[in-house]
Structure 1
Amino acid sequence: KRVPRDRIRHWGELPNGSSAPLEIVLLAKVSRGCAAVIQLLEWLELPDSFLLLLERPERCQELSGFLAERGFLPEEEARALFRQVLEAVWHCTACGVLHRDIKPEN
C-alpha cells in the first residue's frame, strides 16, 4: 500500500521514539496475535510517500467485494463473518486501539 506524504494528516510515535504516520503506528500495535487482523510486515519511508508491506493471506478478499458477488448470505455464513469482525475489533481494543472506521472495505 502506498500512502502519499501529502495525504498524511496524523502522526504518532513508534516504540523506538521515532515519528511515523499514525496508520503505521496503530498497525504496528495490532498486527500481531490475531488472524483476523492483516499484519504489517514492513514499511518504508520514501521522499514523497510511505510504502506499507501488508500481509495478503492466500484466500483473501475484501468483504465489500465478497458481498457484491454473493448478495445475501445465509445466516450461518453471515454469523461466521461477523464473528471474524468482532475478533478483530476485540483484539484492536485489547491493544489500546479503537477502530473508528469499520466498514466492508476495511
Structure 2
Amino acid sequence: MKYRFTLEEQRHILAKQFAHVKGPQRKVLDILLQAYPNEISAKDLKAKLKANSPSAYYSALRNATIFVDVNSRTCESSAEKYHVLDKHIVHHHLSRGVMGTVS
C-alpha cells in the first residue's frame, strides 16, 4: 500500500525527527526543511544561517549531517554548491511516520 503525504505533512513528520536537535545544526535542518523538497544554494544557506565565518558554516552543516544525510552537489556551469535533504533518509522517516513510530 502506498501513502501520499502533502508537502506540509512531510515537513511536519520530518520536523518531529529533528525535535531533539539544538543549536546551529538545528538551524541548518530547519532551513533545509523550509526549502524541502528543493535544493538550497550554499550562498543562501550561509546567509540564512548568519554564519560569522566559513568554518562556523561548515561546522554547522557537518554537525547537521549527524542527524540526517544532506546531499551536496556542485553545478557544473556556475560552480555553485547546492544542498538538499537526502531522499532515501526522507523516505525512511516518512515510512516511520506511517508506522506510528515517530515520537
Is the pair's TM-score, using the shorter chain for normalization, greater than 0.5? Answer: no
Which structure has more strand as a fraction of its residues? Answer: 1
Instruction: Looking at secondary structure, tell me which structure has more helix per residue.
Output: 2
TM-score range relative to shorter protein: 0.3 to 0.5
TM-score under structure 1 length normalisation: 0.32
Q: Which has the higher contact order (CA 8 A, sep 6+)?
A: 2
TM-score of the pair, normalised by structure 2: 0.32
